[in-house]
Amino acid sequence: MPAAKALRDRPYMSTPLRIAVLASGRGSNFAALLAARERGELPVEFVLVASDKADAPVLQLAQGAGVPTTVLDPREYADRRAYDFALFDRIGASKPDLLVLAGFMRIIDGDALKPWAGRMINIHPSLLPKYRGLHTHRRALKAGDLEHGASVHFVTAELDGGPIIAQTTLPIEAGDDETTLATRLLPLEHQLLTAVVALLAANRLALVEQGIVFDHQPLRKPLRCVDGQLVR
């Protein structure tokens, strides 16, 4: 078994975890990370926010916080593969330890993301493995689920299919529609993502061939996020 690939070797107090965020839209998850950092709860440094959309509000958010931004327009590249290699080249130049996909609405080429295995996470608004892809709230409602939620997972070539680190759940209530469900879930997503990034910043999570290692023990099922705290 290969050794767990820690995100970094040195203790976090002296070296904040360097994070690049990829996002296509609003950026409320990034805002939650920024706010946690401001409160002194996340020992991280945001080295870049990258987007595929020049008008994504997340870019203004980043600029307002003094975080460098970059935009790559997919229309300027021959195909997805060319785009993704260019994107990750540019991201790599900012030397991040961790890549956080926070509402990045593109499928990524498997070869392009390979060098980032174990160093890239995504937040997805469903209880994976249920409802990979789009329209997760609609699909949970249509299926008559009693419970919905969000997951943070390591990114692999399989869309929304990488090893799941942690999940948050919420009950689906009578009368819920896509909007009410999404609105109630969003603050829970923010807590979930922040809590997982905090674990990574503290070097308590690693991805090895067999799966996720948490505090030196194999993680057999996703951590649960309860009131912002991750529990086994």
Which residues contact ligand GRF (rule: CB under 6 A)? 23, 25-29, 102-103, 123-125, 150, 189
Which C-beta is closer to ligand GRF: that of 16 or that of 25? 25
Residue closest to ligand GRF when measured from CB atoms: 103
Residues ≥6 apart with Cβ < 8 Å to 211: 163, 218, 219
At its nearest, how many Å lie between ligand GRF and the CB of residue 230? 17
Residues designated catalytic: 124
Which C-beta is closer to ligand GRF: that of 18 or that of 26? 26
At its nearest, how many Å lie between ligand GRF and the CB of residue 217? 27
Distance CA 169, CA 127 (A): 8
Report which residue type is found at 12. Answer: Y
Which C-beta is closer to ligand GRF: that of 17 or that of 49? 49
Distance CA 64, CA 44 (A): 17
Cα dihedral 67, 187, 16, 61 in deg (nearest 10): 0
At its nearest, how many Å lie between ligand GRF and the CB of residue 123? 5
